[in-house]
Amino acid sequence: MSETHLGQPTIDIFAATIAAAVGSWRLVGKGDKNAVDGAAVDAMRASLRAANFGGVVVIGEGEKDEAPMLFSGEIIGAGQPLEWDIAVDPIDGTALAAEGLPGAVSVMAACPRGGMMNAPEVHYMQKIVSGPAGRDLLDLDFTPEQNMRLLADALGKPVSMLNVAVIDKGRNRDLIASVQGFGANWVRFAEGDVAMAVAAAVGDVGVDLLLGIGGNPEGVVTACAVQALGGFMQGRLMPLSPDEMSRALASGNDIERKFELDDLASGERFIFVLTGLTDGLLTAGIKEVDNEMHLQSFVLDSDFGQPRLLEVRIPR
């Protein structure tokens, strides 16, 4: 399917993730995650210079002094009305890309201006994500066992066939033990928070449920995709150090609050594009065939209904 069937700003967002993937491809598998990420950032920003929409980067690569390109607060589409909140992750899974491992993707999302939650003082978020079956059923305050049982019943499958993704970090050790102890299948991953959460919201690609503490910015990016998919998501900010806790409280963040999906991303339209660098659950990775690079992009636009898997071929 041609990208020309998409509307603005989806076509520009799609093009930006393609640019980031292609721009960083030469460094995939070379062992330098900073270099591969830097190449993706440069290529994505260069693509966005020609963007035919106006937006503000809410979820970016850091503050202006830390990230001179695609920083939080940067304006996209100079001269255009600023109608969109933008979230960018030029490479989700930089270590995966650096080592050439599965799951590295380029991601960008958008929702109407003012719709994205922004709490940069807190790096982590406790999350629960599922497909539409979890709506009005699951809850972040339930035990993992309750949520797994409820979702398994709603999906009409035994718990032993339920696939539960939890990022493999020490902070989730007890949760992983609960998933395994309850008899569900733990889908293990070390990076790629966004892609795995979106896979849970899609629901038919090998993940039924995502649980645990992952990245806070990645949670907001994910929320745009979950909105477009009609799925379920809740989150809670999780400061993991005394310094982070102090900064969160000083900024007025409510660390007890359970954020519903509309709190994380709100509005009348949601856009999410994920382009694969290496093979993953949602897209194949880049393949070099003859004199072409073959890419796949997973594209969501709530104005266009169902997800689209777009195939792109670019001369090398």
- Using alpha carbons, select from 194, 6, 28, 167 the residue that is nearest to residue 109: 194
Q: Is the peptide bond before 120 cis (omega within 30 degrees of 0)?
A: no
Q: Which residue has the tokens 């689209």?
A: 308
Strands annotated E in 63-162: 75-76, 82-92, 105-112, 124-130
What is residue 65's predicted lDDT score, i.e. its pLDDT?
55
Q: Which residues of the chain fall short of a pLDDT of 50?
A: 1-4
Give the separation between CA 165 and CA 148, rounded to whole angstroms.
11
What is residue 136's predicted lDDT score, i.e. its pLDDT?
96
Beta pairing, strands 292-301 & 271-276 = antiparallel
- Using alpha carbons, select from 201, 210, 205 the residue that is nearest to residue 175: 210
Give the separation between CA 147 and CA 177, rounded to whole angstroms.
15
**Angle, helices 216-229/193-202, rounded to nearest 10 degrees:** 20
| pLDDT tens digits for range 192-242 | 999 999 999 998 899 999 999 999 999 999 999 999 999 999 999 999 888
Q: How many CB atoms lie within 10 A of CB 279?
A: 15
* Pair 175, 133: CB distance under 8 Å: no
| pLDDT tens digits for range 245-258 | 998 888 888 889 99
Side-chain half-sphere exposure of 253, counting CA atoms within 13 A: 25
Q: Domains in the chain, ordered, with CATH?
A: 3-115+269-315 (3.30.540.10), 124-264 (3.40.190.90)
In angstroms, how far is CA 282 from the centroid of its own chain?
12
- The pair phi, psi for residue 149, each rounded to 5°, is -65, -45
Beta pairing, strands 292-301 & 308-315 = antiparallel
Give the separation between CA 316 and CA 310, rounded to whole angstroms.
19
- From residue 74, give the alpha-carbon distance in Å to each of 24, 56, 62, 270: 22, 6, 10, 20
- The pair phi, psi for residue 183, each rounded to 5°, is 100, 5
Computed from CA positions of residues 240, 243, 244, 249, in that sequence, does the dihedral angle turn out positive or negative?
Answer: positive
* Pair 209, 165: CB distance under 8 Å: yes
Q: Which residue has the tokens 């790096």?
A: 123
Contacts for 156 with CB less than 8 Å, ≥ 6 apart: none
